[in-house]
Amino acid sequence: MNKYVTVILVTFLFFLVVSGCASRNIVVLIPDPNGHVGKAEVITDGGKQLLEKSYGMTTVTSRSSVPSSVTIVSPEYIAATFADVLAIEPSPAEKFILYFNSSTVDLVPESRSVFTAMVASIKRRGAIAISISGHSDATGSTELNDKLSYNRAHTISKMLMQQGVSSDIMTVTSHGKGNQLIPTADGVSEPRNRRVEVIVR
């Protein structure tokens, strides 16, 4: 890639800048891995340009120049032109949901394979941050569920440490019976709310 070009690829959640002694700046709005498209406003002393459509691109030649009119480029153009930039883009975060037996910190049988897949993902991608969030259903007291959801999250963190994952990259939180996956009235037993959500980055 021309070293005198700065390329900014903007996704719904991600900004990536490759810089140098740039005489030209390119800003491209690309979808995130789920196909969502955000917006980006490119502002210089000379004016501004709004990017709001997938694969919209504008160019800035100097701080005082007006950003160029938006052109829509193809995914193939992005892949071919900005291969070097895309090669260093971090992998999207992965989310895993592990379910538990009622009132326990014991995984349901189906979630054991999810745990195995999660460990494989952590090792494959060389994870740098793992958030572990415990939840419960709406049965029982608030105090009981606060403790149970924390214990579930803590159990998963201990299981990960047993697999060689460093505690330094893990963050453990709990929500009790708040933030339900399946909204229910208080006192309702819902298996899908008895869970730990793990986000691997």
pLDDT in tens, 97-116: 999 999 999 999 999 999 99
Rounded to two decimals, the pTM is 0.65
Q: In angstroms, rounded to a whole number, what is the distance separating the alpha carbons of residues 45 and 28?
A: 20
DSSP summary character for residue 107: B
Per-residue pLDDT band for 1 (boundaries 50, 70, 90) equals: very low
User: Which residue's structure tokens are 């009119």?
Assistant: 69
DSSP summary character for residue 106: P
- pLDDT at residue 171 greater than cutoff 70: yes
181 three-state secondary structure = coil
5 three-state secondary structure = strand
Q: In angstroms, rounded to a whole number, what is the distance separating the alpha carbons of residues 131 and 2?
A: 38
**Phi-psi domain of 187 (left: phi exceeds 0; alpha: psi -120 through 50; beta: other):** left
Which tokens sit at 9?
Answer: 């690829």
Residue-wise burial string across 169-199, b where 16 or more C-beta atoms lie within 10 A, e elsewhere = ebebebbbbeebeeebeeeeebeebbbbbbe
pLDDT in tens, 120-146: 999 999 999 999 999 999 999 999 999
Sign of CA dihedral 136, 142, 143, 146: positive
